[in-house]
Amino acid sequence: MTLATVALDCAKRLGRVDANGTAIIDLEGEIKESIADAIRFYNRQKWALTEFRGFEVTTVASTVWYSTVDLTSGDGDQDKTSRTAVDVNTILDIHYLRVDDSNGLDYELKRVAYKDFEELLEGVSPAIYPDVYTMYAGQIGFFPTPDAAYTIYGSGHIKPPIPTSDSDDSVWFTEAEDLIKYAALKRVCVNYLRDTERAAEFGAMETVEANALHGEFVRKTSTGRLKAQW
């Protein structure tokens, strides 16, 4: 499933294809833009398909802040091709972060608030393995300041890439094709066709698909046990 095939199916549902049903006759750019907008919107939320295990950051001596992470050796539903320098802004949430020492032992890093992190940094020279981290302004920071190159591994929710070329695929097309189609169709009807009735119909179907995807996420992440509320 590629951007081109998803866009063609959306065009068919809008009656914007030729007699053979093989080419989009108009609104092609608008449809693809709406698909991207739909993915961008849902990328801001956590789902089972955005979970990622094993992204990496390699520290540099005396360097506190880092703007990119490497996904190529990790595991997740989404495409990792050439994602060797992904912006920290693509990280929605970190579930676990650890650093490996020279003896092969793992140390978990604990997250602290940004203000507390800055206070820790005051007047401190580079040490050895960092043991805490924070995220702020599109960067991830480690303390104590690393004194050498260490590999830090993390797991959490990473935004999947937004397809831009006709041949691009997406985990959203594989795992939530109908959700993205309905979301895109709603946007086309609202923004370009001014067809509020059809927009409402597509929006209702989008909601059904979103609820189903959310339900799947809850089932996969829930312990299945009730917790008392006090």
Q: Delimit the domains of the chain by residue range.
A: 3-44+163-221, 49-158
Q: Distance between CA 113 and CA 130 in Å, rounded?
A: 15
End-to-end Cα distance, the chain: 47
**Least confident stretch, 60-64, 88-92, 126-130, 204-208:** 126-130
The pLDDT tens digits of the residues spanning 157-211 come to 999 999 999 999 999 999 999 999 999 999 999 999 999 999 999 999 999 999 9
Predicted TM-score (pTM) of the model is 0.89
Give residue 137's pLDDT band: very low, low, confident or very high (50, 70, 90): very high
User: Where is pLDDT greater, at 158 or 82?
Assistant: 158
Q: Distance between CA 187 and CA 207 in Å, rounded?
A: 14
Mean pLDDT of 51-55: 94
Mean pLDDT of 14-18: 95
Q: Distance between CA 212 and CA 48 in Å, rounded?
A: 12
CA dihedral of 5, 8, 9, 14, whole degrees rounded to 10? 160
User: Percent of the chain having pLDDT more than 70?
Assistant: 94
Q: Distance between CA 136 and CA 115 in Å, rounded?
A: 10
Residue 144 scores a pLDDT above 80? yes
Looking at residue 64, its pLDDT comes to 95
Mean pLDDT for the chain? 92
Looking at residue 226, its pLDDT comes to 47
